[in-house]
A and B are shown apart, each in its own frame.
Chain A
Amino acid sequence: MGIILLMNETLCCHGCGLMIEDDASASRLHCPRCETCVRKKVGSIENDLGYALAGLILFFPAMTLPIISFKLADTTLVNTMFTALPYFYKDGYLILSILVFFTSVFAPLIQIIISILLFAPLYEGKRPRFIKPYFKTLHFLNEWVMLDVYVIAVLVSVVKLSDTSEVIFGSGLVMFILLTSFSFLLSQSFSPSKIWKAYYAAN
């Protein structure tokens, strides 16, 4: 039943609500009324699984290795993804430490884990057991993963501190930038229709 349901001949624009005839030959389709992209070319499930696995491998080194260090008068302070959190808490802003933890550590990790749990069975042609909560979480998290913003924040801090004293790039920085790239690719190729088509095609 599901397979038939998903073979829509018409598409509905989510930007303006216009019903559009689907043109299967086109890889991208734009709404004639509001120019919203109603169908885009996205990578396969296989690609997504690859990004997620690469992300998982990179996640732990990126989070635990120092990203940048700052040297002033014989003291060197090292920054990893976690070091800021206790300081926010100490200054009396628990919400800030939760927010920073959520957007730069928790959300990417959950995004990667759920992607693996979702795409690994689909790739093997099986149905994942809890597709609805997985799918919902993934849909929600895409908005809240802010690793790319963090990369620019590192850049800004380096410029800010570099005229005071020496800033040393840590080994975690490379891991972190790679993790950010894979997480970005994962968010970009997220496509509800692709996932549900694969789900109903599997048995």
Chain B
Amino acid sequence: MLQTDISTHQALCLHCEHIASVDLKTCPVCDEPLHQRKVNAYERTLAFSIAALFFFIPANFYPIMKTVSFVDYQNSTIMEGIFYFLEHGEYFVGTIIFLASVFVPILKLLILFFLLHSVKTGSQWKLSEKKRLFKIIQVIGKWSMLDIFVIGLMISLVQFGKLAEVTTGFAALSFAIMVVLTMIATESFDTRLLWDEKENNI
């Protein structure tokens, strides 16, 4: 039988990668609190994911950027911004923005809910693939901030008084909060939970 940290009564310190007995309260190497699994990983991930989901709605339906110029006044949501690029033939940038601000956030939340469901039911289906999915959302997490930085650059570069002006919309705030909440949710999750059910059954 495979030996795990639970079956051998040991805990891995996530701060210094030292393995100590599970009976110790703090890590003998770095003095950080020692836990076999991240504390309340399931509940915390669920809570932050649901909170992020709430912010996803205003982030997509409110204007993210307002453009005022002497010819027109334009409120644009995230999707309108993407269509603007596609209409003007900028397929590369349009795709980047679409991936970073629509596709990736939805994908991240879906994967998180899928993993939580998998932990809850103790499903043993393709565990290492699920682990890989988690690794992917961990890496791409911060790339959703792209849109916020683009707005930052736009509002500081397009300030020509009555001629043209760009201001921030409410969606930018919702979007940024959503990204941060998803990142915290991802950090709170513990992939070891996926395997734990298996050991309890043996």
Contacts of B68 in A (CB 8 A): none
- Shortest beta-carbon distance from B70 to chain A in Å: 10
Contacts of B195 in A (CB 8 A): 16-18, 33-34
B25 at interface by CB-CB < 8 Å: no
Smallest Cβ-Cβ distance to B187: which chain A residue:
A143
CA distance A53 to B10 in the complex (A): 39
Which of B3, B5, B96, B149 is packed against the most chain A CB atoms within 10 Å? B149
Q: Which of B93, B96, B149, B159 is the one whose CB lies under 8 Å from A77?
A: B159
Interface string of A154-172 (1 = CB under 8 A from B): 1111011101000000000
Smallest Cβ-Cβ distance to B92: which chain A residue:
A159
CA distance A11 to B113 in the complex (A): 30
Q: Which of A16, A139, A150 is the one whose CB lies under 8 Å from B192?
A: A16
Q: How many residues of B contact A (CB 8 A)?
A: 64
B155 at interface by CB-CB < 8 Å: yes
Contacts of A26 in B (CB 8 A): none
B132 at interface by CB-CB < 8 Å: yes
Contacts of B47 in A (CB 8 A): none
Q: Which of B3, B17, B132, B152 is the one whose CB lies under 8 Å from A88?
A: B152
Contacts of B135 in A (CB 8 A): 36
Q: How many residues of A contact B (CB 8 A)?
A: 64
Contacts of B54 in A (CB 8 A): none
- Shortest beta-carbon distance from A153 to chain B in Å: 3
CA distance A14 to B150 in the complex (A): 35
Contacts of A17 in B (CB 8 A): 4-6, 12, 192, 195-196
CA distance A58 to B29 in the complex (A): 35
Task: Count A/B pairs, Cβ under 8 Å.
Answer: 186
Contacts of A193 in B (CB 8 A): 16-18
A57 at interface by CB-CB < 8 Å: no
- Shortest beta-carbon distance from A8 to chain B in Å: 6
A189 at interface by CB-CB < 8 Å: no
Which of B148, B167, B187 is packed against the most chain A CB atoms within 10 Å? B148
- Shortest beta-carbon distance from A184 to chain B in Å: 12
A15 at interface by CB-CB < 8 Å: yes
Query: Which of chain B's residues 158-183 have a Cβ closer than 8 Å to chain A?
Result: 158-160, 163-164, 167-168, 172-173, 176-177, 180, 183
Which of A1, A85, A153 is packed against the most chain B CB atoms within 10 Å? A153
CA distance A149 to B3 in the complex (A): 40
B110 at interface by CB-CB < 8 Å: no
CA distance A79 to B10 in the complex (A): 53
- Shortest beta-carbon distance from A37 to chain B in Å: 10
Given contacts A14-B12, A18-B2, A85-B152, 6 further A-B contacts (CB under 8 A): A16-B194, A17-B12, A77-B158, A154-B153, A161-B157, A200-B29
Residues of A within 8 A of B (CB): 1-2, 5-6, 8, 10-12, 14-19, 33-36, 68-70, 72-73, 75, 77, 79, 83-85, 87-88, 91-93, 95-96, 99-100, 103-104, 132, 135-136, 139, 143-144, 146, 149-150, 152-157, 159-161, 163, 192-193, 195-196, 200
Q: Lowest 5 A-B CB distances belong to which pairs?
A: A84-B152, A153-B149, A83-B156, A157-B153, A12-B12
Residues of B within 8 A of A (CB): 2-6, 8, 10, 12, 14-20, 28-32, 85, 88, 90, 92-93, 96-97, 127-128, 131-132, 135, 142-143, 145-146, 148-150, 152-160, 163-164, 167-168, 172-173, 176-177, 180, 183, 187, 191-192, 194-196
